[in-house]
Structure 1
Amino acid sequence: MDDRVTRIRTLIEGEPTSPGNRGSLLHRACTAAAHTLSASGAGISVMTEEGARGVYAASDPLTEHIEELQFVLGEGPCWDAFASRRPVLVPDLDGESPTRWPMYTPAVHDSGVRAVFSFPLQMGAVRLGVLDVFRKRAGSLTGEELVTALTFAEVTMTALLDQHEDAALNGLEDDLAETVEHRAELFQAQGMVMVQLGVPIGMASARLRAYAFAHGRRLDEVARDVVAGRLHFDRDRP
């Protein structure tokens, strides 16, 4: 495993737990990102091609409010980052054109935010949302901070997929034979998607898991549909 990824995961695991917080692991990821990047806050929003949109976790209540504003107003850096598949880096909101986010910019400015950096949560063609980092002072991220933020986005993407899969597995009967059968079917489905899309097995697995996440389905159900020919991953589908 990459040393940087290992370090970021260690930072996240070192954050105090918050049992009452939705998506406790991702809440810790936001808190760790805010601390590590000297930010006032960080938030994770889910945005998928299939229409799932909303704030999933935030480091603090104010940041959660700022994240939610993007969905209330229908504009903001997370929308641009998700659509462009590229980070949106705004080191000084005061220097932005007032026509870029005419409603969002004044609202976050009133909250004391002066800089925002948005990173799409993606793996190849798969996108699940955006990690937003906010600062109350203007200024660009350093080269090291930028790489660190991108690593936080990578770890968060994996955490979202893992969390969805774990929730699905916890709903299964605790039966070894059934579990083995599900795994065998999953491996077969991964191989089929790999051939359908012409991608490595790791990417095929990510596409399966992202589809399950976006549609609110269990991974084993999606795999079963692929194996049965009821679900096909078109090479041209984003």
Structure 2
Amino acid sequence: MTTAPQHLASVFVELAGGGAPGPPGVPTLLARLTRHSRELLGVRATGVAFTPTSRDTPQVAGSDEGVRRLEQDSAAWDEGPGPACRRSGTALHSTALAGSVARQRWPRYAPRALALDCTHVAALPLRGHSGPVGALVLLATSGTPLTGDLMTLGQSLADFAAVTVVREHEVEAGRALAAQLEHALAHRVVIEQAKGALTARHALSPDAAFTVLRSYARSHQRLLTEVAREVVEGRLDPRRPAR
């Protein structure tokens, strides 16, 4: 199996997140990995599941919709070559889907893969900085043997993509945390402003002003920040009875 160096280089550039403005995002990177690995390795189909920790919901992609659904179900079942490869952190070499080993180990996965006109499967770990973060699944026909050279190139693609996907996942997690902190800070600011307004208006201490806000919100089953915002805007005085 040979691949033009220039084409191979362009694939690695795209897997690194290049070639498009702005961050590509994890789903886009996984889709690129399945598309390019299928093309470069010449297999029937490829699928990938990215699970950075056991607490995370797997993010799945496939070179076609049937394979994507299969790998999604495989992740949900925790059954199949992908989950097995991620757990072990080592490559799973070519296994006949119609054989007794596959049918015993993967009683739901193997028939579904056979129905997609695949006869053999292998899996390669996505190796992150601190351990496996997913697996790249190779589905082949009897006319495309999963040779050692093919597995070596596939592992190179998986390793390179894993670094990029983990980096992008960390960036996305950082953005989400920043948004949460900004939201929490905005809520805290409006509550402090409302405490200041009540302190000035009724000669209360800051602690007493907060108790008034909290008591009003609880007794009226409202969010504390909503009550605070109305106090700041002068539309509510929780010390006065409603008219």
TM-score of the superposed pair, with normalisation by structure 1 = 0.59
Tell me if the contact between 1:94 and 1:114 (Cα under 8 Å) persists in the aligned partners.
yes
2:122 to 117, 121, 124: 117
Cα offset for 1:14?
9.3
Q: Letter of the aligned partner of 1:69 in structure 2?
A: D
Q: Letter of the aligned partner of 2:168 in structure 1?
A: Q
Tell me if the contact between 1:11 and 1:32 (Cα under 8 Å) persists in the aligned partners.
no
Equivalent position of 1:143 in the other structure: 148
2:75 corresponds to 1:79: no
Where does 1:30-179 land on structure 2 (aligned, <5 Å)? 30-97=34-101, 98-123=103-128, 125-137=130-142, 140-168=145-173
2:27 to 23, 29, 35: 23
Indicate the SS of the match to 1:90: strand
Cα offset for 1:72?
3.7
Tell me if the contact between 2:43 and 2:139 (Cα under 8 Å) persists in the aligned partners.
yes
Task: Could you tell me which runs of 5 or more consecutive residues in structure 2 were left unpaired when the two chains were aligned.
Answer: 180-243
1:8–1:147 CA distance, 2 compared to 1 (3 A): farther
Tell me if the contact between 2:89 and 2:125 (Cα under 8 Å) persists in the aligned partners.
yes
Count of residues in correspondence between the two structures? 169
1:16–1:45 CA distance, 2 compared to 1 (3 A): same
Q: Letter of the aligned partner of 1:29 in structure 2?
A: L
Cα offset for 1:148?
0.6
Structure 2 distance, partners of 1:76, 1:16, is 34
Cα offset for 1:146?
1.3
Structure 2 distance, partners of 1:126, 1:76, is 19
CA RMSD, 1 decimal = 3.4
Cα offset for 1:100?
1.6
Tell me if the contact between 1:115 and 1:138 (Cα under 8 Å) persists in the aligned partners.
no
Where does 1:145-224 land on structure 2 (aligned, <5 Å)? 145-168=150-173
Tell me if the contact between 1:121 and 1:128 (Cα under 8 Å) persists in the aligned partners.
yes
Tell me if the contact between 2:60 and 2:71 (Cα under 8 Å) persists in the aligned partners.
no
Equivalent position of 1:9 in the other structure: 12
Structure 2 distance, partners of 1:96, 1:75, is 16
Cα offset for 1:33?
0.3
For residues 171-219 of structure 1, give each alpha carbon's deviation from its aligned partner in whole angstroms, at most 9, with x where no partner exists. 769xxxxxxxxxxxxxxxxxxxxxxxxxxxxxxxxxxxxxxxxxxxxxx
Tell me if the contact between 1:15 and 1:28 (Cα under 8 Å) persists in the aligned partners.
no
Structure 2 distance, partners of 1:112, 1:58, is 15
TM-score of the superposed pair, with normalisation by structure 2 = 0.58
Tell me if the contact between 1:115 and 1:139 (Cα under 8 Å) persists in the aligned partners.
no
Structure 1 distance, partners of 2:35, 2:167, is 19
Task: Could you tell me which runs of 5 or more consecutive residues in structure 1 were left unpaired when the two chains were aligned.
Answer: 174-238
Q: Letter of the aligned partner of 1:102 in structure 2?
A: P
Structure whose alpha-carbon radius of gyration is higher: 2
Cα offset for 1:7?
6.2
